[in-house]
């Protein structure tokens, strides 16, 4: 595999991990559970698992743990369409640079 691709995949993985962590941190705010955020996360996880959507596979970073990609995709998707759009731009940049 191309070394540049590995670096770009690592950068994408770092961006995904940070976005997942930042999303999960929103569940606990001001010393209590944010029910709206938790509900949004749970609903998008169920939808992602039910449909088999896996953002990690889509960007060439398949996970070895079954359903982990769908669960993490649900967490990411709970941030909303604008956030996902920005994330897709980053992923597309990784794919374009890996072809150069």
pTM score, two decimals? Answer: 0.78
Determine what percent of the chain is predicted with pLDDT higher than 70.
88
Which of 41-45, 60-64, 76-80, 88-92 is modeled with the greatest confidence?
41-45
pLDDT at 50 over 60: yes
| Residue 51: burial class (beta carbons within 10 Å; 0-12, 13-18, 19+) | exposed
- Between CA 35 and CA 5 the distance in angstroms is 39
Query: In terms of Cα–Cα distance, which of 19, 8, 6, 25 is closest to 82?
Result: 19
Q: What does the pLDDT average to over 9-13?
A: 83
């Amino acid at each position: 595999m191309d070394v540049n691709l590995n670096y770009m995949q690592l950068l994408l993985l770092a961006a995904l991990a940070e976005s997942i962590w930042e999303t999960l941190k929103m569940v606990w705010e001001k010393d209590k559970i944010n029910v709206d955020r938790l509900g949004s996360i749970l609903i998008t996880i169920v939808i992602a698992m039910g449909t088999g959507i896996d953002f990690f596979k889509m960007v060439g970073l398949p996970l070895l743990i079954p359903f982990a990609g769908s669960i993490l995709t649900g967490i990411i998707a709970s941030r909303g369409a604008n956030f996902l759009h920005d994330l897709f731009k980053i992923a597309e940049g990784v794919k374009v640079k890996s072809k150069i």
